[in-house]
Amino acid sequence: MDMFVQDRVGGEYLTALRTVLPNAIVNEEWQTPRQVTITVTADALADVMKTLYYEHYGWVSVVVGNDERPLNGHFAVYYVLSMEGPQKCHIVVRVEVSAITQEWPSVTPVVPACVWGEREVRDMFGLTPVGLPDARRLVLPDDWPDDLHPLRKDAMDYRTRPAPTQDDETYEFINDAKQETTIVPIGPLHITSDEPGHFRLFVDGEDIIDADYRMFYVHRGMEKAAEARMGYNEVTFLADRVCGICGYAHSVAYTTSVENALGVVVPERGQAIRAILLETERLHSHLLNLGLVCHYTGFDSGFQQFFRVREKAMVLAEVLTGSRKTYGMNLIGGVRRDILGDQAIETRRVVAELREDVNRLVDILLETANITGRVVGVGKLDKQVARDFSPVGPMVRGSGFARDTRSDHTFAGYASVPFTPRSHDGCDVLSRTLVRIEEVHDSLNLIEALLDVAPGGRILTEDFEYKPHKFALGFTEAPRGEDIHWSMTGDNQKLYRWRCRASTYNNWPVLRYMLRGNTVSDAAVIVGSLDPCYSCTDRVTVVDVRKHSAQTVPYKEMERYGRERKDSPLK
Amino acid sequence: MNSPFNAPFTTDGLQAKPPVVSIPDQVAKMKAALLKDIQRSAYVYRVDCGGCNGCEIEIFGTITPVFDAERFGIKVVPSPRHADILLYTGAVTRSMRMPALRSWEAAPDPKIVISYGACGCTGGIFHDMYCVWGGTDKIVPVDVFIPGCPPTPAATIYGFAVALGLLGQKLKTHTHIEQEGESVPVSHPDIPYKLRVALEREARRMAGYRQGRDLVEEFLDQLDAKAAAPLPERMKRFVANQEDPRRAEIFGCLEGIVTQAIGG
């Protein structure tokens, strides 16, 4: 891999690291000029991570576990850092885990952002991060057998389904409150949107003192499915189904990761089309979220209007891809559909229409007095918390950090068009909403600019061969933030390992801090401002610890209270 | 009542299988009577058992202004206790089986169950995975399946109409029996096979599967056309007559392949 020594970006970080920790780095391997994997000793892992994260402005993107016993006799854990200091690159810190002790030292105590990643590695591989403060399961269901770890190569057939042992959930929720609090459980089923999740709000009167949540109700085992029964190109279509809203971003991240691993150069026209489709996806996703902000703040006509306008973004998707979802458009090496002249003309027409409609709606939204009343200063994401937990997308951009994969680690066609990431300093729901509003306009401009600069030529290259056990990262900026995939090719026309990390995965851990100190009626709008692939409440049971009584408040009542903020159902 | 909470699982090889809830005859009769004469609006409760969101968002699309299912009296409600129709999306995951069953129990009889989307209907791309029980019909009896990944809003409204007995299911079967001497004609038999494959491949790399196919057919028709003018001249004119520069570029590429084949 000496071919691009000259172009390498990020070598300075390694030099600095070698000065401070002389014996830490065992091996260094470059996947692309901006991607390096360093193997470090287990003892030095925490120090390496801390140095890169806090002293060189790194952010944790994802933690990947891998069962490499068939390859080299060890398990391995990869910590992916997005370096956003003066040299923008990805540094992957790899540590080998002995197949005998099956333990490695946890990084979470020094870099809190690793908490979910390490919990997931423990679930899926049965390795123990020594010193990890949170001993609970993350991904696997509560009644899954303790000694069955799905992603170990020798663990089980992918079809294995043990019968359930119990029907109750045993997940333990954590409450850091000092005083007595009342529990408000929310979910896992709810009306407003999307996926199931279960929230516990710990409240004193109307104030949220602490909150905890259980996610992964919809764990379906995609990574195992990809490794067990799909070829490389089929996984692009599986990656579409990671998320129903930002699926295309996942598909691009996956194909990019394999292309990076194999050194495939995608034709420029294919790259431009990918970027156009990503922006189309951002349009309908952000319009959805703006609609939901209206809904949660009791401005339902705004909600209906945003959904009316959003349908135009769906028309755009239909013009460009033939279906309302931007599914099934990618292959490794390029895309499956060109943009011909008629489609380009139609796209420009719809974009112009959308711009006018969005402008009008946003004016109305921002001039509605009770909107500002509900979103200013609500759901504060403190800058230090944001720095510690590495959230992504409009979440972190609403707290003053202009992190955007489109400019930090340019991919697809974004290098060919001017682009500046947006950020706001308010740290509240308003800031996140403003970031989204500005990004809708950016997306419209980007689509036009990309149509202008898209060169001719092919959209797909088929001129490459698969090589076994090559790995690399792929990344995109999805509507909710950075999506990152890590793929390792196998020797049987299947992936050896595929790790796919959706943007919301990085955003959940900070929600707890955003909810603290707000009132129950703000919970929905705060959760909504995360733009999770999931929002809100279907039913709320209130358990009063002091009175030892339980009372169920119907969703309608909860939502009504969220909008009107009088006649509390908790009294 | 047959409670889904106590029924035992069966095991088939590696896979445990959940019991399907059964409906008493009396309830089935009530349902038939309801469907025969349903003269009111129907309330729908959405149960996501492990969907990717695609289906959920399309349901949202269905109930908002452009498609507006409410004009047919179909309304999404926030509690299963108000529901006539339960709409299940997503493959049933291990963690969501009990919540899904609890909402089924909470809905009053007679209820109609719709399984929505590819994953809801069969488990879809996630069939047989370790954390998935399968489609909706693996846990509760399903009345109507709305397939699609995801189903469009129009398909959704059509599915509701079928569920409410307003429209009959469109079923069409057609059986073709091969006659003696019948065979599929080879397309463009006059064009050398290797040249045709080369053109089709290049068209796919330039314009993708669907559009590449359309464009190459158009081009092959030109090659096949019986006309007085010589082939190179005809191709040049065809390319020059394209209004869309991108199509001209693609046809230009194909022309290059043909020219090379004739010359070499």
Report if residue B177 sits inside a domain.
no
What pLDDT does A104 receive? 94
Is B109 contained in some domain? yes
Confidence at residue A570, expressed as pLDDT on a 0 to 100 scale: 46
Q: What is the pLDDT of residue A192?
A: 43
Same domain, B80 and B198: no
Interval A154-189: pLDDT, tens: 888 888 888 877 666 666 666 666 677 666 666 666
Last residue of a domain, one of A130, A147, A171: A130
Cβ–Cβ below 8 Å for A556 and B99: no
Identify the pLDDT of residue A536: 28
Which residue in chain B has the smallest CA separation from A216?
A: B95
Domain membership flag for residue A138: no
Cα(B18)–Cα(B138) distance, rounded to whole angstroms?
7
Residues in chain B with pLDDT < 70? Answer: 1-6, 169-170, 264
Looking up residue A231, the CATH number of its domain turns out to be 1.10.645.10
- pLDDT in the model for residue A529: 78
Is A558 inside a domain boundary? Answer: no
The alpha carbon of residue A190 is apart from the nearest alpha carbon of chain B, in Å, by: 7
Do B143 and B54 fall within a single domain? Answer: yes
Residues of B in contact with A339 (CB under 8 A): 246
Give the pLDDT confidence score for residue A546 in this predicted structure: 34
Q: Please tell me if residue A327 touches chain B, with a CB cutoff of 8 Å.
A: yes
Binding-site residues of A for Mg(2+), please? 223
Chain A residues whose beta carbon lies within 8 Å of the beta carbon of residue B128: 158-159
A94: containing domain? 11-130
Inter-chain CB proximity A538 and B91 less than 8 Å: no
- Do B203 and B159 lie in one domain? The reply is no
User: Is the CB of A337 inside 8 Å of chain B's CB atoms?
Assistant: yes
Which pLDDT score, from 0 to 100, does residue A373 have?
A: 82
Residue B40: what pLDDT?
78
Do the domain assignments include residue A292? yes
Same domain, residue pair B207 and B83: no
CB B94 within 8 A of CB B15: no
Q: Evaluate whether residue A145 is within a structural domain.
A: no
Instruction: Please judge whether A307 and B133 are an interchain contact, meaning their C-beta atoms are less than 8 angstroms apart.
Output: no
CA-nearest of A266, A384, A389, A381 to A330 is A266
- Is there a contact between B53 and A194 if contact means CB atoms under 8 Å apart? yes
User: Residue A543 has what pLDDT?
Assistant: 32
Pair A432, A539 in one domain:
no
Tell me, what CATH number does A540's domain have?
3.30.390.50
Q: Is A160 on the interface with B (CB under 8 A)?
A: yes
Structure confidence at residue A549 (pLDDT): 36
- Structural domain contains residue A192: yes
Query: Per the domain annotation, does B178 fall within a domain?
Result: no
pLDDT at position A42 over 70: yes
For residues A396 and A510, state if they share a domain. Answer: no
Assigned token pair, B140? 């509760």
Tell me the pLDDT tens digit for each residue of A370-379: 788 888 888 8
* Cis geometry, peptide bond prior to residue A188 (ω within 30 degrees of 0): yes
Is A50 contained in some domain? yes
pLDDT at A545 (0 to 100): 33
Bridge partners (DSSP) of residue A58 are A83
Identity of the residue in B46, B49, B125 whose CB atom sits nearest the CB atom of A191: B46
Same domain? For A312 and A455 the reply is yes
Whether residue A111 sits in one domain with residue A97: yes
Same domain assignment for residues A314 and A438:
yes
Q: CA-CA distance, A518 to A203, in Å (whole number)?
A: 10
Q: Is residue A562 part of a domain?
A: no
Which of chain A's residues have a Cβ under 8 Å away from the Cβ of B52? 218, 241-244, 247
Beta pairing partners, A499: A486
**For the residues A498-520, what does the mean pLDDT come to?**
83
**No. of helices (H) and no. of strands (E), chain B:** 9, 9
Residues B135, B228: one domain? no
> For position A128, what pLDDT does the model report?
92
Q: Which amino acid is at B232?
A: P
3-class secondary structure, B220: helix
Q: Does one domain contain both B210 and B154?
A: no
The partner residue sitting opposite A162, judged by closest CB among B16, B97, B205, is B16
Please confirm whether the linkage preceding B150 is cis (ω < 30° from 0). Answer: yes
So what's the pLDDT on residue A509?
79
User: End of a domain among A479, A501, A523?
Assistant: A501
Residue of A nearest to B203 (CA): A458
Q: Calculate how close chain A gets to B257, using CA atoms only, in Å.
A: 15
Q: Which residue of A has its CA nearest to B50?
A: A218
Q: Are residues B213 and B157 in the same domain?
A: no
Report if residue B20 sits inside a domain: yes
Binding-site residue ranges of A for Fe cation: 246, 536
Mutate to test the interface with A, among B46, B49, B59, B95 (most CBs of A within 10 A): B95
Mention every residue, 6+ apart, whose C-beta is less than 8 A from residue A289.
Answer: A436, A479, A528, A531
Same domain, A478 and A518: no
**Average pLDDT estimate for A521-537:** 64
Provide the CATH number for the domain around residue B137. Answer: 3.40.50.12280
Same domain, B135 and B204: no
Say whether both B203 and B84 belong to one domain. Answer: no
Same domain, B85 and B205: no
pLDDT of residue A314: 93
Q: How many domains does chain A have?
A: 3
Question: To the nearest whole angstrom, how far is the Cα of B139 from the nearest Cα of chain A?
Answer: 14
Maximum distance among all alpha carbons in chain A?
A: 72
What φ, ψ does residue A44 adopt, rounded to 5°? -90, -5
Q: Is residue B116 part of a domain?
A: yes
Does A263 lie in the same domain as A384? yes
Residues A122 and A229 in one domain: no
Burial label for B29, CB within 10 Å (0-12, 13-18, 19+), is exposed
Given a cut of 90, whether residue A143 has pLDDT beyond it is: no
- Pairing, β A58-68 against β A74-84: antiparallel
Q: Domain limits at B224?
A: 193-263
State how far the Cα of B154 lies from the Cα of A384, in Å rounded to an integer: 47
If you average pLDDT over residues A430-458, what whole number do you get? 93
B129 closest CA partner among A444, A220, A9: A220
Quote the number of domains for chain B.
2
Q: For the segment A309-362, what is each residue's pLDDT rounded down to a tens digit?
A: 999 999 999 999 998 888 889 999 999 999 999 999 999 999 999 999 999 999
**Residue B217 and residue B158 in one domain:** no
Q: Please tell me whether residues B220 and B110 are part of one structural domain.
A: no
Q: Could B96 and A336 be called an inter-chain contact, meaning their C-beta atoms sit closer than 8 Å?
A: no
Residue where one domain finishes, among candidates A501, A534, A557: A501
What predicted TM-score, i.e. pTM, was given to this entire model? 0.89
- Predicted confidence at residue A59, as pLDDT, reads 92
**Is the model's pLDDT at A502 over the cut of 90?**
no
User: If we measure between CA atoms, which residue out of A434, A506, A527 comes closest to residue A192?
Assistant: A527
To probe the interface with A, which of B62, B101, B129 has the most A CB atoms within 10 Å? B129
DSSP code of B70? G
pLDDT at position A535 is 29
For residue B88, the model assigns a pLDDT of: 93
Q: Is residue B200 situated within a structural domain?
A: yes
pLDDT digits (tens, 9 = 90+) for A197-229: 666 777 777 777 777 666 666 677 888 888 888
In the annotated binding site of A, the residues are 223, 243, 246, 533, 536
Examine residue A571 and state whether it is found in any structural domain, yes or no. Answer: no
Tens of pLDDT, residue by residue over A45-60, are: 999 999 999 999 999 9
Q: Which ranges constitute the DSSP H helices of A299-340?
A: 300-321
Residue B21, phi-psi category: left (phi > 0), alpha (psi -120 to 50), beta (remainder): beta
